[in-house]
Amino acid sequence: MQRASHHELRSAFRALLASERCYHTASVFDPMSARIAADLDFEVGILGGSVASLQVLGAPDFALITLSEFVEQAARIGRVARLPVIADADHGYGNALNVMRTVVELERAGVAALTIEDTLLPAQFGRKSTDLISIEEGVGKILAALEARVDPELSIIARTHAGVLEVDEVIRRTRAYEAAGADGICLVGVRDFAHLEQIAAGLKVPLMLVTYGNPELRDNQRLARLGVRIVVNGHAAYFAAIKATYDCLREQRGAQPCDLNATELTHKYTMPEDYILWAKEFMEVRE
C-alpha cells in the first residue's frame, strides 16, 4: 500500500470536504481494520468514541474512556493508516482548556480530523444524558481547538445533536460554530431531508451526518447537493467482529449454539444495566 504522511492524509481529507460528492466512512478501530479499509479503497475512516470504549474498556458508551486511552488507540491506527481518519473526540474530554490538550494529542497521533460535540459530558448530577452546553461554551471549545492545532490541514468539526433541539436552536448553534471557524459541522439525529434542508440552508461549511443507516437519508446525490460530504452509517464492522469472535470461541469450546446477534452480544458483555443503575443511584441522571 502506498504510504502517506499525516499532513498528506489531512490534505486528502480537506479535498473530500471541498468536493461535490458524499463519502461514507469505514469504521476503523485498530491497525488491521484501518489497513483493510484502505485496501478496499475507502476514502475516509472514523474511530468512534463508542467503539473505542468497547475496544479498550469493554464498557458501554457512557463517557468512561479517558483522553489518554483514546489517544493511544488513535496512535496505533495513525502509525499504519493509509487513509484519512476522523477521531470522534466526544466533548474534548472537558472544558475548552481540555479541548486544547485533546487537539494537541490527537494531532500527534496522526488523525486527519476530529469532532468536538456540545453535549454535556460526562452526564451531570440531576441532568439528562442528552443535555447540551450553552452555545457560548460550545463556541469557546471550537475557538480553543483552532488555537491548539499546529498543522493547519487538521480539520476541526463542530458536532451538535439535531435530534434533541428545536430546529431554530440547531440553526443558531451551527451558524455560531461556522462563524467561530469550524471546518465543518457534524449533525446527529437528523430525521429526514426536510429536517436537513432547514438546517443546511445558509450554511457554507461542509456537513457531516451521523445517520446510523436512517432510511430517510439514503439518497447520496441529494445529500451532496445539500452540502453533506461525510456520512457515518454506524460501526457494523466492529459489531461483526464481536459476533465472529463469540461464534469462533463458542465453537472451540463446544458450547451450545447461541442465537444472540451482535447487538445483543455487545449488550450482554458490556452490562449497561449496571451503569444505568449506578447512574440512577449515585447521580440521579434523568432520561
Q: What is the 3-state secondary structure (H, E, C) of the chain?
A: CCCCCHHHHHHHHHHHHHCCCCEECEECCCHHHHHHHHHCCCCCEEECHHHHHHHHHCCCCCCCCCHHHHHHHHHHHHCCCCCCEEEECCCCCCCHHHHHHHHHHHHHHCCCEEEEECECCCCCCCCECCCECCHHHHHHHHHHHHHHCCCCCCEEEEEEECCCCCHHHHHHHHHHHHHHCCCEEEEECCCCHHHHHHHHCCCCCCEEEECCCCHHHCCHHHHHHCCEEEEECCCHHHHHHHHHHHHHHHHHHCCCCCCCCHHHHHHHHHCHHHHHHHHHHHCCCEC
Give binding residues for substrate as ranges. 50, 159, 235
Give binding residues as ranges. 50, 88, 159, 235
Give binding residues for Mg(2+) as ranges. 88
